[in-house]
Amino acid sequence: MSVAIITGSGGLIGSEAVEFFAKLGLDVVGIDNDMRRVFFGEEASTRWNIERLKEKLGLRYTHLDIDIRNREEVFRIFERYGKSVVLVIHTAAQPSHDWAARDPIADFEVNALGTLNVLESTRRLAPEAVFIFTSTNKVYGDIPNNLPLVELETRFELDPTHPYFEGIREDMSIDQSLHSLFGASKVAADVLVQEYGRYFGIFTGIFRGGTLTGPHHSATQLHGFLAYLIRCAMSHTSYTIFGYKGKQVRDAIHSYDLIQSFYEFFKAPRVAEVYNIGGGRYSNASVLEAIALAQEITGQEMIVTYDERNRIGDHIWWIGSNAKFQTHYPEWRLTYDVPRILREIYEDNRERWKPA
């Protein structure tokens, strides 16, 4: 028996990982106590996704309603499966920099202490397992905002002569910047995963994503950019743009493409590797451009309001470079761009998000 333990298994990336690795023949143990509902309200609950996984995968999937902050509970799970665990994918997190400011202690406990609990359980009880961690581009703080950006009609863009024009690389500093409290707690977790790799020789991969997206996102205003945008368009709900004239740019990676990168790492793991991972130049859009696409796809004119206050530590422009990962894993390719992502989210959620 080969076991994969996946935290945040009801979330967007966690659920995609559950399905993929279960289909590969692994017995998947999912850990998710629906904290997303606690963070963002009932509309963001992952319960529907957890039930979908149980029904679809049957005995291939074991769900555990556990809080990763509870060290004893996490240890017991790893004790139960021991060296049968070949893969740990840690996606559970408090994912919003807005929410983190409301309760910094809870944010840090979930993101940093929870990660430590999962890491230490892996080190003690499944040291041969591959450990994959979903970090974030917010570990760079607001340093990307110091890049020489040019304002165009629908977006900010980077000067084409700049070394990061094709995407921001991992050599960007994480120091001397405004991170937001969420960014700080994820930095702590990010560095912990690196150090457990270096100190203890564990295969650890840190994936610093930008906009992670897909049809199984429990979208809400504070987290889930593209899915929430389509949800607002479909349900005739007002969508608020926060600052930067709506010209802020995000690269977007579909959950399918991200899981494919995890699979490549799982097949040929490394120790303490850090990768920026995202849509890159292949898949990106500004908020204004995404709104235009959402209106075209849904056939609905959106209700849009504008708030001049940008979110603290928010990026004006983020397009990450996948070059390092593709050098290490040349078989991996992006298959989804933003228009295809938005169309799929729309098609897959017609019933869930239709107007009341």
The pLDDT tens digits for 277-336 are 999 999 999 999 999 999 999 998 999 999 999 888 789 999 999 999 999 999 999 999
Q: pLDDT > 70: what percent of the chain?
A: 99
The whole-model pTM stands at 0.95
Do the beta carbons of residue 97 and residue 182 sit within 8 Å? yes
Q: Which residues pair with 207 in a beta bridge?
A: 134, 275
pLDDT at 112: 98
Report the Cα–Cα distance between both ends of the chain, in Å, rounded. 46
pLDDT at 352: 80
* CA-based torsion, 94, 102, 34, 230: positive or negative: negative
Residue range 209-263, pLDDT digits in tens: 999 999 887 777 767 789 999 999 999 999 999 999 999 999 999 999 999 999 9
Task: Please give the CATH topology (third level) of the domain spanning 3-348.
Answer: Rossmann fold (3.40.50)
pLDDT at 222: 66
135: number of Cβ within 10 Å: 26
* Residue 299 backbone zone (phi > 0: left; psi -120 to 50: alpha; other: beta): left
Do the beta carbons of residue 14 and residue 28 sit within 8 Å? no
Find how far residue 217's CA is from the centre of its chain.
Answer: 10
Token pair belonging to 289:
């451009």
pLDDT at 31: 98
Tokens 């910094």 map to which residue? Answer: 104
SS3 at position 252: strand
